[in-house]
Amino acid sequence: MIQWLVFGWRSVQENILEVPKQCRLGIFVPEDPISRTDFGSTNHAAVYRSRARWWRRGLVERLAVQARADLAAPGGERGAAWCEAVPSFIANVLAGNPELRSEALDALFPSGLAAVLALCWRRPDLAFVLMQNLFAVPAGSCPGSNHPARKLVESAEGHFVLYLLLSLLWSVGADGDEAPRGGASEASSAKAREWASIFFFDLWAAGIFAPAYRGVQRMGAAQLHSFLCAVASVPGWGALRINDGSAAATASSASALESFGRLMGRLCSQREALGLLWHTVHGLLAGPEAAADAGGSSLGGGSQGSEAARLASALLCDSDFVDLAAEEMVASLAVLAGAWQLDWSPAPVTAEACAALGIDPVDLELLQLAPREDKDNCQLRQAETTTKAPAWGDSAAGGEAIEATKARAVADGNGFFRELLLTAIELAAIPRAAGSMLPPRLVGVYLSGNVSLIAALHHLRFGAAAVAVTGTKLPARQASASAVEAAKACNLVLQLRLCGNVLYDSDRARDFLLLSGGLPALLSHCYADPELPLLREAGVFAVRNLTKHSEEVRQAVRELLAERRSVASAAVADASQASEGDDDGQLTSRSAAQSLLPSIDESAIL
């Protein structure tokens, strides 16, 4: 009987779930759900009463219980028809019926909702339609502390449900530039991404990002397994027990693992889930075109639409989000510096530099704490393994562990850290276009922490002294392949883009950078490098934004470039004297000395 009632809705399923053409990453003009689902009927009250009767007869609750029992069923997964019909039926029952939403939320959350989401691997778009209908804010109400989706961030069970939802987004390829990882079709994956953008826009605009992020960050594998066991433990349907060490419980837990092992295998990693959270923010701010071409030739920010500006303003006015963005950036820089053995030790920011931003030096203390904590963690790991980590490329014991660390750093640079950087780039660009400013704490973190890492990457490649730094010692080139690999893993070009956006038309950011000594590091990257495409463009972009409207800064740049030319000339002269009497050697030495100092086009900067 249940199956007959559910499958009766499948004839209108595609029409109901067709994504409106107005849906574009946060811009959603909803249509009347009744006119789309009830065969032209205009008697809305009758429709609502009909849906309420269906709900109060327990049909939807029975479906949720059946979905929970399916997780523990030893016979394998249900057919595609069942897995598509159940979530779409529940979503349709809730569509446009605010009276049923609170009742449905209490009945489904968290176990029933998690079980229904677990049915959506073939059609992830159904999961996001269901979530949108279940957590929709009633028309005319003001989202905030009473937002229904706060259930997702105020309890551990809500974090697990959000994690399942992020895994569904991961399965379809969040940015659309790769094939779906699950069994979803391309069309279903595209719909899932569009519905996900609508759902997450409502959440992040309501100030839920920071608690949601911290909740997923605190999740543990053991707690997740316990939650899934609880979801599959349905009274009267063969309850599953959590392993407490007894023989019976151990056998029960083993049975549980075997029963829903497929589900566990479909979940993304915790780091990927956190990266996806930043990806949703970046996608909503940049728009679909910019999100698809995040690594393209555009050096500035992305979208300047009203919806993106509204979201950026909501995020940057949230002190919890600002603190989270600063902490995650500094922590990521420390991890990358440790993985690539970079000499990343940001100098303490002076009181004068902080005064230029209007902040207290205490606000930037995390820049000094992060490298120390990273070193302490590295020492602890070394003490646990009793193996000293060798230098890069060393074939001694531990070399495989170092290579594994580098591989993880490369993966992180292409995943989590890249999404964090792209989000920061958009947040630094959009508020300026809307007439507001980036919070001073983020300005300080980006122009001190990120600029310090940019300088450390330059030192890794060219030696202890940067190209534009004063001094008489000529930089000595290090192993180029390793240095270039580190620069790519740390997204050097994107970091320069971030600095350029922060500096654009901002006197306080310019003064802070000059007072904190960051000018030479940016100037050192205004050269063409065939191994790092767009490096010169990104460096020039940052320096030109710094020198704009300031003759004083332009004069400082001229002095640094003149000093650089003087150092280069002295180095060539020394090389010529050392090889006097040997024409071939003289030419070789002069060529080598010149290659150490890449050419910087002064006209492009000034």
Q: Which two tokens stand for residue 167?
A: 């895994």
Tokens of 528: 């063409």
pLDDT at 530: 85
Average pLDDT of the residues in 478-483:
70
How far the first Cα of the chain sits from its last, in Å, is 77
pLDDT at position 381 over 50: no
Whether the predicted pLDDT of 248 surpasses 60: no
Q: Which of 392, 573, 594 is nearest to 478 (CA)?
A: 392
Give me 587's structure tokens.
């030419």
Residue 135: pLDDT over 80: yes
User: Residue 95 has what pLDDT?
Assistant: 84
Instruction: Kindly compute the dihedral angle of the four CA atoms of residues 132, 136, 139, 140, in this order, to the nearest 10 degrees.
Output: -140
pLDDT at res. 20: 35
Predicted confidence (pLDDT) per residue in 217-232, tens digit: 999 988 988 898 888 8
Distance set, CA 559 to CA 388, 556, 569, 593, 600 (Å): 44, 5, 15, 21, 13
In this prediction, residue 290 has a pLDDT band, given cuts at 50, 70 and 90, of very low
Q: Which is nearest to 52 in space by CA: 99, 112, 110, 2?
A: 99
Beta-carbon contacts of 374 under 8 Å, excluding residues fewer than 6 positions away, are 334, 335, 337, 338
Contacts of 106 (CB under 8 A, 6+ apart): none
* Residue 236 pLDDT class (50, 70, 90 cuts): low
**Better-scored residue on pLDDT, 270 or 605:** 270
Residues 344 and 333: beta-carbon distance below 8 Å: yes
Angle at 501 between CA 515 and CA 532, to 5 degrees: 95
Task: Work out the average pLDDT over 42-68.
Answer: 72
pLDDT at 253 over 70: no
Arithmetic mean of pLDDT over the chain: 75
Range among 6-15, 56-65, 123-132 rated most confident: 123-132
What tens digit of pLDDT does each residue of 481-501 get? 788 899 999 999 999 999 999
Per-residue model confidence (pLDDT) at position 34: 35
**Residue-by-residue DSSP string for 120-155:** TTS-HHHHHHHHHHHSPPPTT---STT-GGGGGTSS
Q: Which residue has the tokens 């940001």?
A: 346
Range with top average pLDDT, 201-205, 301-305, 392-396: 201-205
* pLDDT exceeds 70 at position 177: no
Using CA atoms, how far apart are residues 249 and 227, in angstroms rounded to an integer? 16
pLDDT at 322 over 90: yes
Q: What is the pLDDT of residues 536-568, one digit of tens each?
A: 999 999 999 999 888 888 888 888 888 777 776
Query: Would you place residue 38 in the very low, low, confident or very high pLDDT band (cuts 50, 70, 90)?
Result: very low
Residue for token digits 């000499």? Answer: 343
pLDDT score, position 48: 61
pTM of the model: 0.80
**More confidently predicted of 535 and 478:** 535
SS3 readout for 195-258: HHHHHHHHHHHCCCHHHHHHHHHHCCHHHHHHHHHHHCCCCCCCCCCCCCCCHHHHHHHHHHHH
| 171-183 per-residue burial string, b: 16 or more CB within 10 A, e: under 16 | bbbbbeeeebebe
For residue 27, what are the β-bridge partners? 24
More confident: 392 or 478: 478
CA distance 524 to 468: 6
Q: What is the DSSP string of 268-318?
A: PPHHHHHHHHHHHHHHHHHHHHHHHTTTSS--S-----HHHHHHHHHHHT-
Task: Output the pLDDT for position 19.
Answer: 36
Output the pLDDT for position 203.
Answer: 92
